[in-house]
Amino acid sequence: MELAIAIVLGCCALSAGICMGVGAIGPAFGEGNAVARSCEAIGRQPESKSAVTSTMIMGCAITETTGIYSLVIAILLIFVAPNLFVNILKNAL
């Protein structure tokens, strides 16, 4: 029984780490690419700075929600899921 609980806890921690790893890499690349392209666009047409900047900030905010969602899922996997899975295991045995 203790081994099964240890496996459940380990899998929850591992899946939370994977969730944050994948969930943080995507927004980082997306936001970096958006800022780079925005700087390039402003460099080519300086008169469109305000339009490009506001669009870039909106895009970065939307992209960042992916990282926030993965953080929420990771927190749930660390604090909520182990208790649920352990209770299911105890009821099954």
Q: pLDDT tens digit string along 31-77? A: 999 999 999 999 999 999 999 999 999 999 998 898 899 999 999 99
Which pTM value belongs to this model?
0.77
Sign, CA torsion 36/41/47/48: negative
Q: pLDDT tens digit string along 16-25? A: 999 998 888 9
At residue 2, the pLDDT reads 87
Cβ–Cβ under 8 Å, residues 67 and 24: yes
